[in-house]
Amino acid sequence: MQFSLNHMVAPKLGYAEFFDLALRLGVNAVEIRNDIPTSLMGNKNAKMIGKLAKDKGITILNVNALQRFNQWNGAKASEAARLAEYAALTGAKALVLCPTNDKKYKPSNEARLDALRDSLAGLAPILQHFGLIGCVEPLGFEECSLRLKAEAVAAIDAVKQSKRFKVTHDTFHHFVAGEKELFAGRTALIHVSGVTDKKHTAATMRDPQRVLVDGHDLIDNRGQVQKLIAAGYKGYVSFEPFAAEVHKSKMIARELARSMDYLEA
């Protein structure tokens, strides 16, 4: 199993410390973000981050993420181009694409799917220009405008861009959405995080409940990952916990190592 760390495992760490954390765990691939306090944006910083990663032997898989990517207009195209250039300068191979997750955004189903296809068609030449793959990550929340990987795959096929776009299988969102199909052959990345709080159901689970995966996991991370690998998935399994208790941990390396052992068992 190839593991990666999303910077969300320890968002207070600077890049050097984050890369060193990965190396301590025998991990040589990471995801960096544009939405945490330690994020350094701008092309000059992107080059610095890329050089630091290269010097330490770290591969930057992607930048996470272009938000509301499926509300496409001139401003979003400009934002996408800036972030794609930044990602390319870090040496990243992909850009994660997150859909609008807002109760106030309520287009008709037809308009929602039209907007998804329009967004992918608009993004494709930008990603191609910078040599990037777009990793579409459906979010399982009921209010999200793109909950299912099936809809993402259908839209990618509709715009004939299956080489430019892949999907991210997030174990948490897969469970919350209630989706069954896995799309292993269309998956570029797996995000893992566990839920152990029994007070919550799929309908009430949100980011604050997302911890590291262990034997108390309620959403079958290990089963999901095993099924994807059995179906031919050969990419990275990346830790992406959002719970404050994980971010505050003084023993994050030890806890990540235990989670890796659990997933590989």
What pLDDT does residue 100 have?
Answer: 98
Hey, what are 25's tokens? 């765990």
Spatial contact of 193 and 241, defined as CB atoms under 8 Å apart? yes
d(CA 22, CA 10): 11
Overall CATH class of domain 2-264: alpha beta
Question: In tens digits, what is the pLDDT along the chain, a chain of 265 residues?
Answer: 999 999 999 999 999 999 999 999 999 999 999 999 999 999 999 999 999 999 999 999 999 999 999 999 999 999 999 999 999 999 999 999 999 999 999 999 999 999 999 999 999 999 999 999 999 999 999 999 999 999 999 999 999 999 999 999 999 999 999 999 999 999 999 999 999 999 999 999 999 999 999 999 999 999 999 999 999 999 999 999 999 999 999 999 999 999 999 999 8
User: CB atoms < 10 A from the CB of 26, how many?
Assistant: 9
d(CA 189, CA 184): 10
Taking the CA atoms of the chain, what radius of gyration do you get in angstroms? 17
Q: Which residues contact 236 (CB under 8 A, 6 or more apart)?
A: 2, 3, 4, 29, 61, 189, 190
Residue 92 CA, chain-centre distance (Å), reads: 13
Give phi and psi for 237, each to the nearest 5: -110, 110
What pLDDT does residue 66 have?
Answer: 98
What pLDDT does residue 196 have?
Answer: 98
Q: Strands, E, within the chain: which ranges?
A: 2-6, 29-33, 59-66, 94-97, 133-136, 165-170, 187-192, 236-239
Q: If DSSP codes are grouped into helix, strand and coil, which group holds residue 247?
A: helix
β-partners of residue 166 are 135
The DSSP symbol for 6 reads E
d(CA 173, CA 195): 11
The DSSP symbol for 158 reads H
**Half-sphere exposure for 144 (CA within 13 Å, toward CB):** 23
What pLDDT does residue 69 have?
Answer: 98
d(CA 111, CA 240): 31
Domain limits of the chain?
2-264
Give how far Cα 89 sits from Cα of 27, 50, 77, 124, Å. Answer: 22, 7, 18, 18
